[in-house]
Amino acid sequence: EIVLTQSPATLSLSPGERATLSCTASQSVSSNLAWYQQKPGQAPRLLIYDASKRATGIPARFSGSGSGTDFTLTISSLESEDFALYYCQQRSSGPPAYTFGQGTELEIK
Amino acid sequence: QVQLQQSGPGLVKPSQTLSLTCVISGDSVSSDRATWNWIRQSPSRGLEWLGRTYYRSKWENDYAASVKSRIIINPDTSKNHFSLQLNSVTPEDTAVYYCARGGVALAGAGLDYWGQGTLVTVSS
């Protein structure tokens, strides 16, 4: 089973700053990686799929990059509504079809 | 617009069966381009994919190894929904359970629509 490790666990930044979140896979996942945002009491929301493609309705300040084992989610200029939990997720051909990282909490400094 | 609406009890006794339903609107459980998934989230286990059902000329299921002996996911084409049954539950199965759609081209490797979540507590 592929393990995803996210870093840092917590990121403290101010509105307007740039956020860089990392996700490392224990083996290559090619570009089969997605990023989600989750706020308290809500389901995860898909931000990025296939490592770098923005999902429908996602603002351009969110971008994803990487392939193989190392991936990055960048938020170019933080807005107040961006402070939340972020998860990466990979898809495999067989069970488990999806595995998730442990999350990065993006908090207001 | 796709919507997934979950229903089911929030409290289940140990050793009994957890049952949840996810009603689909705006898509079909019989779609040959989507998969229909159950995922749970707890502080101890994080986000954990449990299994999926999907139709590709015939119905298919995949289950996570951690629950494979206890889980059944069934589609119901007449009601356009899919269900989760998890047998012999213990307090470790306490979690928020989500249904979600996967496998569509516009979401690639991602899960693009999620249900609202159901907190299921296993307790006597």
pLDDT, one tens digit for every residue, chain B (124 residues): 999 999 999 999 999 999 999 999 999 999 999 999 999 999 999 999 999 999 999 999 999 999 999 999 999 999 999 999 999 999 999 999 999 999 887 778 899 999 999 999 999 9
Q: Which of B46, B106, B116 sits opposite A43 (nearest CB)?
A: B116
Burial B24-40 (b: 16+ CB within 10 A, else e): beebebebeebbbbbbb
User: Is the CB of residue A96 less than 8 Å away from at least one CB of chain B?
Assistant: yes
Name the residue in chain B with its Cα closest to that of A87: B47
Model confidence at A94: pLDDT above 80: no
Tell me the average pLDDT across A37-46.
97
Distance, in angstroms, between B69 CA and closest chain A CA?
14
**Residues of B with Cβ-Cβ distance to A44 under 8 angstroms:** 47, 98, 111, 114
| Cis preceding linkage at A44, omega within 30 | no
| Euclidean distance between CA atoms B21 and B31, whole angstroms | 18
User: Is the CB of residue A9 less than 8 Å away from at least one CB of chain B?
Assistant: no
Reported as a single tens digit per residue, the pLDDT across B64-74 is: 999 999 999 99
How far from B116 is each of B24, B37, B71, B99, CA to CA, in Å?
A: 12, 14, 21, 8
CB contact under 8 A, A98 and B39: yes
Burial class (CB in 10 A: 0-12, 13-18, 19+), B1: exposed
